[in-house]
Amino acid sequence: MSAAAGGLSMQVQRSRPAVLHALLLLVRRSLRQHAFSSLVTAFSVALGSGLVMAVFSIQKQARDAFTGGDVGFDGVVGARGSQLQLVLNAVYHLETSPGNIPWSIYDDLRRRPYVELAVPYALGDNYRGFRVVGTTEELFTKFEYQFGRKYTIQPGGVVFDPSLQEAVIGDFVARQTGLRVGHAFSPYHGLAFDEHEQHHEEYRVVGVLAPTNTPADRVIWIPIEGVFRLGGHVLRGTGEEYHPLAGEEIADEHKELSAVMLKLTSPKFGMQLDKEINKLGKTATFAWPIANSMAELFNKLGWVNRVLELVAYLVIVVAAASILASIYNTINERRREFAILRALGARRRMVFSAIVLEAAAIAGIGSLFGYVLYAVVLMAAAVVVRNQVGVVLDFTQIHPMLLATPLIMVSLGALAGVVPAVKAYATDVADNLTPHT
Amino acid sequence: MAALEIQDLRKSFVDPAGRPALVVDIPQFAIDTGEQVGLAGTSGSGKTTLLHLIAGILQADSGRIRVAGLDMTGVAGLVRDRIRAQHIGYIFQTFNLLQGYTALENVELGMMFGRGLDSAYARRLLDRVGLGDRLHYRPRQLSVGQQQRVAVARALANHPDLVLADEPTGNLDARHSLRALELIQEICRETGAALLLVSHDQAVLSAFQRVEDLQTRNCAAASGQPAQEAAAPPHATASTGGS
């Protein structure tokens, strides 16, 4: 560097044209000059990309949560009918019960050597919409709802006494109904809440389960005997109606169950039972493996997902179109600027690139906002699913679309920028150098 | 090597009536390295068209233009862009500063498309034209005289061999215009750039040792073309042209 005193006569060999530097400066400045329309456009991009990411992610996570998770049991035996209905009813505590099976099936199954655990469920009542499920205390003493994890009773509570009118309630039930240890309540008849259908029997809460993040959080557990004795329950079993009297012991042939939950020592016995109950037998259904039934459900709902995906894709296309329109509208007012830049030595393709890059930048910024939108939608979805079903969506999972969507969006944005860029490219320099009046 | 050589340069436009109108017809014209030439041209003499042709913004119909020994005619637009960026500085009558950018950015952008960014030199140029304390002002925040000096600094940003100035003082009052002219001449001398300055102002032209009259140089202007048509800047004849 040889600056002659007061002069400017030195010749320095400088770096190659800082084209990228210039491009970034142009794009940054243009985005700022058109901040409002850029932001509005970026928001529409955010809607599109957020929606696409949410649709794919929720879809995947819901499927995983309902089909991939360990539910503790291998299979469910219930009344002859749909395996899916049986699973929804007995595992997820949704849907109506497909019907009843005699106690003898449970009695038979639990004695088989390969049955590690058999737990009977008897349904038919609710308390303010939460299911009252009759079961045995083995559910709390032996059952592991996930590998190595048993239900635990929150401090101050105990497991119900099978011979008393006592209840253990799920954590969500406790929070929603306000029921605490020591409180008494009367169940309502039926699985759907109807305030005119209240039983006169009272149950006392003796324990609240620690949160499990499973459907069990939404259930009220009572001794199975209690369900048989609740008024309005008609027991057949022997072919005729039967109402137990207070204090009278109920004979096994009158006891009916909604489902028997099974844990087997090995999957091969599942196949054996499948053959025995589903193919050869005619009285019951064996839903096994449980995840298969849910996978079947998701496959059936596949078309809903396709529709949602299509809608999300359309929003993305609309967002790209709005990028095109918003930049296109600025080209006329910027003709003089392009002409000056060209007069300074900028090449046509430089002006072209600046516009394409600006469009891509809007798409990129929008995609960043899209992540925020995605997070909000996903959290909302997780809360809804949790409250409705008790299943927790794991939104720490990274779906590949979380990476692909912004890339697709930026590419689409750049593509949309080509149209105004061509217009800018065609700007005539001499024509636009002098201000038009 | 001459800073500028012109031979048999012709350019015509199509007038609104669809007839071709010859605007520039210069058999021979040259400027030596570092030479300063005042070109007298009234409106209608085709001066802006001539400068646009030299800068490669317009393409000649025929003839030859060489800037610093490099052909501006018969080459692709890309080549003209590069020669313009690296060898020519252009001072417009309306300055044509980029409104959204600071004084410094205006000079730097000129560099980015030319020989490459040299921020220190951009600052030194602005300091040289007396705007060292206005580097980050936008054109709107500067007076007309100051805007003109930004335009001067920008024209010199790429160490041009030739500076073209189109009525650079046309928007200034008499006192400011002579001082601005002095600055342009000095700075071109310091950097070794040749200067071709077009003006219709006799006071401005009298500051040049060599003054040429475009009326006599340009046969198109001298041959009695109607003044309105000959003067017509390209946008008046282009089909999309406005007023």
pLDDT (tens digit, 9 = 90+) per residue, A297-334? Answer: 888 888 988 999 999 999 999 999 999 999 999 998 89
In this structure, are A243 and A385 located in the same domain? no
Q: Mean pLDDT across the stretch A231-247?
A: 64
Residue B27 carries which side chain, given as an amino acid letter? P
In this structure, are A115 and A260 located in the same domain? yes
**Cα→Cα distances B173→B126, B165, B170, B203, B204, Å:** 22, 17, 8, 12, 12
Q: Which residue has the tokens 């850029």?
A: A38
- B106 Cβ neighbours under 8 A, 6+ residues apart: B97, B98, B139, B150, B154
Q: What is the pLDDT of residue A62?
A: 84
Compute the nearest-CA separation of B24 from chain A (Å): 15
Residue A244 belongs to a domain = yes
Structure tokens at A394: 């794991």
Compute the nearest-CA separation of A436 from chain B (Å): 7
Interface of A with B (CB under 8 A): 1, 3-4, 6-9, 11-12, 14-19, 21-22, 25, 29-30, 32-33, 336-337, 340-348, 350, 428-437
Per-residue pLDDT 10s for chain B (243 aa) are 799 999 999 999 888 888 888 889 999 999 999 999 999 987 777 888 999 999 999 999 999 999 999 999 999 988 999 999 999 999 998 899 999 899 999 999 989 888 888 999 999 999 999 999 999 999 999 999 999 999 999 999 999 999 999 999 888 888 888 889 999 999 999 999 999 999 988 989 999 999 999 888 888 765 544 444 444 444 444 333 333
Q: What is the pLDDT of residue B238?
A: 39
Compute the nearest-CA separation of A338 from chain B (Å): 9
Cβ-based contacts of A334 with chain B (< 8 Å): none
Q: Mean pLDDT across the stretch A276-283?
A: 86
Show the domain range for A351.
3-66+301-433
Residue A294 belongs to a domain = no
Cβ separation B116–A345 shorter than 8 A: no
pLDDT (tens digit, 9 = 90+) per residue, A158-180? Answer: 999 998 999 999 999 999 999 99
Which residues are paired to A121 by β-bridges?
A259
Q: What is the pLDDT of residue B221?
A: 67
Give CA torsion, residues B193, B194, B200, B204, to 10 deg. Answer: 60
Nearest-by-Cβ selection for A14 from B81, B115, B192 = B115
Q: What is the mean pLDDT of chain A?
A: 87
Residue A307 belongs to a domain = yes
Residue that finishes a domain, picked among A230, A258, A288: A288
Q: What is the pLDDT of residue A176?
A: 92
pLDDT (tens digit, 9 = 90+) per residue, A180-208? Answer: 999 999 999 888 888 888 888 899 999 99
In this structure, are A328 and A402 located in the same domain? yes
Cβ-based contacts of B115 with chain A (< 8 Å): 14, 17
Cβ separation A433–B92 shorter than 8 A: yes
Cβ separation B113–A436 shorter than 8 A: no
Residue B212 carries which side chain, given as an amino acid letter? E
Residue that finishes a domain, picked among A266, A288, A310: A288
In this structure, are A409 and A338 located in the same domain? yes
Task: Give the ipTM.
Answer: 0.85
For chain A, the domain total comes to 2
Q: Is A332 exposed, middle or buried (0-12, 13-18, 19+ CB in 10 A)?
A: exposed
**In terms of Cα–Cα distance, which of B76, B87, B242 is closest to B164?**
B87
In this structure, are A245 and A384 located in the same domain? no
Quick check: bond before A289 cis, omega within 30? yes
pLDDT (tens digit, 9 = 90+) per residue, A340-376? Answer: 999 988 889 899 999 999 999 999 999 999 999 999 9
Q: What is the pLDDT of residue B239?
A: 38
Cβ-based contacts of A3 with chain B (< 8 Å): 124
Residue A335 belongs to a domain = yes
Residue A280 is given by DSSP the state I
In this structure, are A95 and A25 located in the same domain? no
In this structure, are A262 and A115 located in the same domain? yes
Q: Mean pLDDT across the stretch A264-280?
A: 89
Q: What is the pLDDT of residue A242?
A: 66
pLDDT (tens digit, 9 = 90+) per residue, B111-128? Answer: 988 888 899 999 999 999
A115 within 8 A of A288, measured Cβ to Cβ: no
In this structure, are A260 and A127 located in the same domain? yes
Find how far residue A253's CA is from the centre of its chain.
43
**Cα→Cα distances A104→A24, A253, A365, B227, Å:** 78, 7, 65, 115
Q: What is the pLDDT of residue B230?
A: 42
Compute the nearest-CA separation of A334 from chain B (Å): 10
In this structure, are A310 and A281 located in the same domain? no
In this structure, are A366 and A240 located in the same domain? no
Q: What is the pLDDT of residue A14?
A: 47
Cβ separation A22–B125 shorter than 8 A: no
String of DSSP letters for A171-217 = HHHHHHH---TT-EE--EESSS--GGGB-S--EEEEEEBPP-SSGGG
In this structure, are A202 and A320 located in the same domain? no
Cβ-based contacts of B84 with chain A (< 8 Å): 343, 345
Q: What is the pLDDT of residue B224?
A: 47
Cβ separation B118–A14 shorter than 8 A: yes
- The C-alpha atoms of residue A374 and residue A343 are separated, in whole angstroms, by 45
Residue A104 carries which side chain, given as an amino acid letter? S
Q: What is the pLDDT of residue B116?
A: 87
Cβ separation A343–B84 shorter than 8 A: yes
- The C-alpha atoms of residue B199 and residue B169 are separated, in whole angstroms, by 8
Residue A295 belongs to a domain = no
B161-190 b/e (C-beta count within 10 Å ≥ 16 → b): bbbbbbbbbbbbeeeebbebbebbbebbee
- The C-alpha atoms of residue A157 and residue A181 are separated, in whole angstroms, by 6
In this structure, are A88 and A214 located in the same domain? yes
Residue A296 belongs to a domain = no
String of DSSP letters for A98-122 = ---EEHHHHHHHHTSTTEEEEEEEE
A and B: number of Cβ contacts within 8 A = 125
Residue that finishes a domain, picked among A245, A261, A288: A288
**Cα→Cα distances B140→A30, B100, B151, Å:** 17, 9, 13
Q: Mean pLDDT across the stretch A54-78?
A: 85
Lowest mean pLDDT among A113-117, A218-222, A249-253, B202-206: A249-253
Give this prediction's pTM.
0.77
Cβ-based contacts of B105 with chain A (< 8 Å): 25
Q: Which residue has the tokens 């505590």?
A: A93
For residue A238, pLDDT beyond 70: no
Q: What is the pLDDT of residue B50?
A: 93
Q: What is the pLDDT of residue B10?
A: 93
Q: What is the pLDDT of residue A161?
A: 92
Residue A293 belongs to a domain = no
